[in-house]
Amino acid sequence: MSGRPNRNSKSEEHTKTIVVLPGDGIGPEVTSAAVSLLKDCAAETGRHFEFVEMPFGGNAIDRCGRPLPAETLQACSGADAVLLGAVGGPKWDGLPLDRRPESGLLALRRELGLFVNLRPIRVLTSLLGVSALRPELARGVDIEIVRELAGGIYFGEHSTEGANGSARATDVESYTAQEIERVALFAFDRATRRTNKLVSVDKANVLASSVLWRRVVTQLSANYPTVRLSHLYVDNTSLQLVVAPRQFDVIVTSNMFGDILSDGAAGVAGSLGLIPSMSWGLGPSLYEPIHGSAPSLAGRDVACPIGAISSAAMMLRESFGMELEAAAIESAVDRVLESGARTPDLATPRSTVVGCSGFAGRARESLHEQFSLHERYGWGV
Ligand code: IPM
Ligand code: MG
């Protein structure tokens, strides 16, 4: 912090507006942890981050009557990036589907044109002991799940007719070639930046939308001669993710399959609380942990902030090009875990159990240590 030239110029280039949507349940606790680390990075690097907090989800229903108020959408549209906590809770579970907090999340994704959702699943060496799998299976797992986010059954027609014994409910899964192509392009690009291995997941032995999915992805592969593309059915993928997860690098799949597979894959990493995500597309990218609002944990300072903190790191890397700072945050998280401090979801008998704020405090200390070493000796220490 000290001894550095003051680069707090607040010039446009260095100013980023980050809209923060804490949401419901543990959302406010985990986003506040993530924001504290973002502020530290800004202070250290002379960037200026402006944080604008807006109502969203259940709390917005309570305050404004709608989960996605117009002012919130407007603020998000004009932002450089959006950081979201989580939405939903028992208080709003009785509402019709199209008025629940979750409908606000779907509307936000659609309105911002976010058609890609990137979910990295990494098994940290420090957390091998909490993976749901044996260490020899989990060690070294490093997967990127690319989930289609703006189409499929989530956005198809939903309807219910009749009542009681004669009731029928319908949800329509539908994809256009163009919707498949745009997310597949993202996945191919991602694969070329990693190990050139892409698995496309579908259910092409049953679903027409999956037959189209497979055809479009296969056609595109002609433009990516270095990428080894393979196709897997979704049921087999769920098996492979638990019996041999290291075979995967980049996975691309539909909205629904990606939702389901990413929760399962989080078990391989050790906890749903660990996994960050980026939603990407036409508008500003949105970063959020993949966990839900966990109402039973809310307000008790026991939630795991790592998914949210890692989402903040992803924001620095993917939206702001701040690779060093992103890596410093990730390394700070890793160092705290190595020291044995854990939130209850990650604790083993030998851990020091800390709360959400306690974990964030330790991560900030570790971040400061890295920055001061960097000031003295340069990066790479
Ligand atoms: C997720 C969540 C959401 C989804 C819910 C909250 C609507 O499960 O981001 O994975 O299904 O997309
Ligand atoms: Mg989900």
* Average pLDDT, integer, range 122-145: 96
- Check if the beta carbon of residue 37 is closer than 8 Å to that of residue 309: yes
Q: Considering the entire predicted model, what is its pTM?
A: 0.94
Q: What percent of the chain has pLDDT over 70?
A: 96
> Residue holding tokens 């060496």?
125
pLDDT higher than threshold 60 for residue 11: no
pLDDT digits (tens, 9 = 90+) for 110-120: 999 999 999 99
Q: Which CATH superfamily is domain 1-112+283-381 in?
A: Isopropylmalate Dehydrogenase (3.40.718.10)
The domain segmentation of the chain, as residue ranges, is: 1-112+283-381, 114-282
| Fold: same for 1-112+283-381 and 114-282 | yes
Cα(259) to centroid of ligand 1, in Å? Answer: 7
pLDDT higher than threshold 80 for residue 86: yes
Cα(45) to centroid of ligand 2, in Å? Answer: 34
Cα(282) to centroid of ligand 2, in Å? Answer: 22
Q: What confidence score (pLDDT) does residue 380 get?
A: 59
- Listed in sequence order, the DSSP H helices in the chain are 27-45, 58-64, 70-77, 101-111, 135-138, 177-192, 208-221, 234-243, 255-269, 306-318, 323-338, 356-377
- DSSP β-ladder status, 158-161 and 168-171: antiparallel
Neighbours of 166 (CB within 10 A): 7
pLDDT category of residue 13 using cuts at 50, 70 and 90: low
Q: What is the chain's mean pLDDT, rounded?
A: 95
| Mutation test residue for ligand 1: of 26, 102, 146, 293, the one with most atoms within 8 Å of CB | 102
- Give me the half-sphere count of Cα atoms (radius 13 Å) on the Cβ side of residue 323: 2
In angstroms, the first-to-last Cα distance of the chain is: 17
pLDDT digits (tens, 9 = 90+) for 269-292: 999 999 999 999 999 999 999 999
Phi-psi label, residue 65: left if phi above 0, alpha if psi -120 to 50, beta otherwise: left
Q: What confidence score (pLDDT) does residue 89 get?
A: 97
Phi-psi label, residue 68: left if phi above 0, alpha if psi -120 to 50, beta otherwise: beta
Of all protein residues, the one whose alpha carbon is nearest to atom 4 of ligand 1 is 259
* Average pLDDT, integer, range 171-189: 98
pLDDT higher than threshold 60 for residue 381: no
Active-site amino acid positions: 154, 203, 235, 259, 263
Q: What confidence score (pLDDT) does residue 3 get?
A: 39
DSSP state of 40: H
What atom in ligand 1 is closest to the CA of residue 255? Answer: 12
Q: What confidence score (pLDDT) does residue 59 get?
A: 97
What atom in ligand 1 is closest to the CA of residue 292? Answer: 6
pLDDT higher than threshold 60 for residue 10: no
3-state helix, strand, coil in the chain (%, to 5): 50, 20, 35
Topology annotation, domain 114-282? Isopropylmalate Dehydrogenase (3.40.718)
pLDDT category of residue 379 using cuts at 50, 70 and 90: low
* Average pLDDT, integer, range 374-381: 69
pLDDT category of residue 9 using cuts at 50, 70 and 90: very low
pLDDT digits (tens, 9 = 90+) for 149-176: 999 999 999 999 999 999 999 999 999 9
Which ligand is closest in space to the CA of residue 84?
1
Instruction: For residue 150, give the nearest of 258, 250, 242 by alpha carbon.
Output: 258
pLDDT category of residue 374 using cuts at 50, 70 and 90: confident
